[in-house]
Chain A
Amino acid sequence: MKVLIEFIGYAARKIGREWLWAELAEGGTLRDLISSLASTANASTVEELKVAITRGELLIAVNGRMVSDLDSRLNDGDKILLFPIAAGG
């Protein structure tokens, strides 16, 4: 299956691009998706992103809904947003 991942701010700077389509096996999870970024960025960057996600510094939304469980399963065509925590006023 294919999913679209969009990177914002700090995440975009780390990965070096604003979005990409990722190919995942059926039943793939958010964790699988983040790990698959190693084919685009270097391994230490991917580890850094994982740590930032764990610390709540980077947030994830799947189809506009916030998701914190990296074991959440994804579906074909899902749109994932990876963004640094920030707030409006």
Chain B
Amino acid sequence: MASKLHSYAGKILRIDLTHKTATKVDTPYELARDFVGARGFGAKILWDELKPGADPLGPENKMVLSFSPLTGTSAQSFHKIYAMFKSPLTGGYFRSTGGGFFAAEVKFAGYDAIVIEGRAEKPTYVWIYDNTVELRDASHVWGSTVDATVEMLKEETDRDARMLTIGPAGERLVRIACLVTDDYRTPGRGGGGAVLGSKNLKAVVVRGTKRPELFNPEFFNELVKEQVEVYKKSPLFEAFHSLGTNSIVYQFYTLGHHPTYNFKNTELENVEVWRPEVLEKYVVKHVGCFGCMIKCGKRWKLTKGPYAGLIHDFPEYESHWSFGSTTGVTNLEAIAYANMLADKYGVDTISAGATIAFAMELYEKGIITEKETDGLRLRWGDGDVMVELIRKIALREGIGNVLAEGTVRAAEVIGRGAEKFAMHSKRLELPAYDPRAAKAHGLSYATSNIGGSHMIGWNKYEILGMPERVDPLAVEGKGLLNKKVQDQIAAFEAAGWCAFAELVQTAGYESVEKTMEWLGKILYAATGVEEFKDSNYLWLVGERVYNLERAFNVREGFTRKEDWLPERIQKVPFPRTPAKGQVFELDKLLDDYYTVRGWDVKTGIPTRKRLEDLGLSYVADELQEAGKLA
């Protein structure tokens, strides 16, 4: 057994903002072996260190930014930020992820993870240059948008520095505020921006000069070469490269996956402008993350209409939906402008658009009127009103102060039956797929440990028919299918991989199993950890991470009743082809899923046996002691 951890940076940086300390501790071998890195590290550290009931916006909450042994190497697409924290939106475990160059730079500075805790007494930013870590005054950038912050902090640290920052929304504790990188690859969901805002932390700025040291460079390089070849021959490579995730908006609408009008799902007028041939006309540049040849990011330029002059990161599939299809806005310029504003103010585009759509439906139903909306007419399809609402949410101004709480808390404030129109699961706004049109994918919305996220169980079998086609409308077998996808994603996210890149590679191999075998080999070649060689071990790690995250929520009081989807999804038949007449059979699907997970069917809580099988007996002990084990 290799006792040295190759390709890990070897240190975890702990920043205590209350006590103004920065401490470096060795990355424990057991932590690396049992949880690999990235999402796995975050799940384990939060389980070990957060007490149940911790206030997500209190100094006791922690944010773990963690990376992978493959981050900063020549392996493709493993250079993502994984941010784990207790969410001020859901009240439970959260994992949020974004790309860019920040993750690789942290690794180059010498850290596998940064754990942020406490609360600074005044606005602060962290400046990391290799071993040197400083907590600096951020009063001069407090209140500024992301672009201004990036410019100012680069000027006073290093032009080549990379950073993770928050905008005015995070400072104002907007519960749907996000983290934003210097190049707008945002870990967007779950309110991470508000967590940093509550800590008075404006940014983490980093510059590093070290490089990961590989266990077997020759074998590693062979595997990277194989990966590049598989990417090149993958039918998905060109799609992601040419137009990013936007290349599928129109088709997913046609396939019934792409909801409209706050999930009412009536036909969207003017939907033809979602066609890729229309969207690609706006692209002026392809941009990518560190060490990724796919370059799925696009810069859009607007040359006409009231928003002309803009060049910014494009509204990708989800943002296109949240500022487009679910609000009924088909003015592409308004969607692109809204996306830019959300990025610069630091608001999650998915939750922001979904919350605006919720408000538009309340206005349509007469539940709110112009008296409550600062005189705005929240009519479906009005792009100018949408843009104004983003600003109001980010700055907590007027109606924006209510909507800044997300749909569920906003509905509580508004009353009058508004909660019926909050489209969420575990208080996280649902994204751009309708659960009624893809049952395993919908089951992941309901059971996800972070709430209504599409990325915890993005079901390629149902949505793309890849690598094997599964009928998206069938109910039978969907518990097992959802478990498989959730565990695989947890495994490759513990390795720090990008979900889009995994799709490209799996499409190239035409096999999930081949992808996981390759992943095991490259992790071993990088680190020398024997266990990683076996892809079965990686599947086990994925299931272990998933169960640990679940246990975190159980400890917070979550049970089966939180695995829920709105009444509209469960009871109102889907109105258009191809899922016409479909509803979401929640109870039947949950029974099936808990059974295959080895969890108690009545409560949805993992059993002692399953936890012990996954090497989590200490988790079973703690849950039992708290009287929460099934």
Contacts and interface: CB of A to CB of B under 8 A. Distances in A.
Q: Which of B239, B454, B458 has the most CB of A within 10 A?
A: B239
Contacts of B432: 88
B36 to A, nearest CB: 23
Nearest to A64: B578
B469 A88 contact: no
A55 B238 CA distance: 14
Interface string B136-161: 00000000000000000000000000
Contacts of A12: 277
B455 interface: yes
A81 B503 CA distance: 22
Interface residues of A, number: 23
A2 B276 CA distance: 26
Given A59-B465, A66-B465, A88 B250 contact: no
B245 to A, nearest CB: 4
B256 interface: yes
Contact of B464 (A81, A87, A89): A87
A84 B239 contact: yes
B277 A57 contact: no
Contact of A84 (B238, B433, B500): B238
Nearest to A86: B239
A81 B465 contact: no
A87 B510 CA distance: 15
A56 B254 contact: no
Interface string B486-520: 00000000000001100100010010000000000
Contact of B500 (A9, A64, A85, A89): A89
Contacts of B464: 59, 85, 87
B251 interface: yes
Contacts, number: 91
A87 B463 contact: yes
A6 to B, nearest CB: 8
B349 to A, nearest CB: 12
B247 A89 contact: no
Contact of B239 (A13, A18, A65, A87): A87
B251 A87 contact: no
B29 interface: no
A37 interface: no
Given A8-B275, A66-B255, A88 B317 contact: yes
21 contacts: A8-B251, A8-B275, A18-B277, A56-B507, A57-B235, A61-B251, A64-B254, A64-B255, A83-B251, A84-B235, A86-B236, A86-B240, A86-B243, A87-B248, A88-B252, A88-B317, A88-B318, A88-B432, A89-B455, A89-B458, A89-B500
